[in-house]
Amino acid sequence: MQSPDLAQYLDQIQSYFSQQAELVGPELFGVDISRLDQLVLSQNSVQIHDLEKAVQNCQKCKLAESRNHVVFGAGNPNANLMLIGEAPGAEEDKQGLPFVGKAGQLLDKILIAIGFKRSEVYIANILKCRPPANRDPNPDEIEQCQSHLDQQIESIQPKIILALGRVAGQTLLKSETSLGQMRTQTYQYAGVPLLVTYHPAALLRNPQWKKPAWEDVQKLRHMYDSIVGDKPAWSPSQNKK
């Protein structure tokens, strides 16, 4: 995989030329700033693609023996918003893609309700392989898979992370705090603001949690607007779940 430092250098070069272009015009020294944007974006795509190829053959833990597919992650490799769940389920293990079952359909509706398409975000899991019978991940499995997730985050460089569910939140925060407590605060993971909410599968089992989940994702959207601010104006009344 290419060094992640290259993406950082490209970001610095892009920032410099953008600042200069504001002073003397967009075609400073014949440099097309939009082409620098594309160079940064393509670098992220290459890094994610190379990492995914490497992870497909991962044999670090025993889950490699029972999986059908590695579920690396999917979405926009240049996403400002990254969603992180717990682990693949049965349908995800069959298809090799995250959140493709009923929980994934609900997740799509939640994203649409706050003005996002799935193609705009990046979705991954703590584990890249399905635990048997959908049990909680074991500590050794989490430890072995942690580097894969951290490299994903480093490559994508999201502006905000949303952890989906208790296991994802506790794993990222290295905490035993309850989901009810985690979802009331904003955290940092690898220097990125992190929020925690219910896993869509939990919402299917417990519809009474949909109201607090809706409160959580409204908070997420408002935070996104304050940090990124690249989307049209939005209000909760536009798309209630």
Domain ranges of the chain: 1-55, 63-238
Helix (H) or strand (E) holding 78: none
What residue spans of the chain are helical by DSSP H?
4-24, 33-55, 63-66, 90-95, 102-113, 139-156, 166-173, 179-182, 200-205, 210-227
Note whether 85 and 121 are within 8 A (CB).
Answer: no
Cβ distance 94 to 53 under 8 Å?
A: no
- The answer to whether residues 123 and 85 touch, using CB atoms and an 8 Å cutoff, is yes
109-125 confidence digits (pLDDT tens): 999 999 999 999 999 99
SS3 label, residue 193:
strand
Give tens-digit pLDDT for 21-61: 556 555 554 555 555 555 455 667 888 999 999 999 999 99
Cα distance between residue 73 and residue 128, in whole Å = 8
Which class is domain 63-238? alpha beta
Quick one: tokens of 31? Answer: 């440099």
**Global confidence as pTM:** 0.82
Distance between CA 211 and CA 148 in Å, rounded? 33
Structure tokens at 135: 């049990």
- pLDDT at residue 93 tops 80: yes
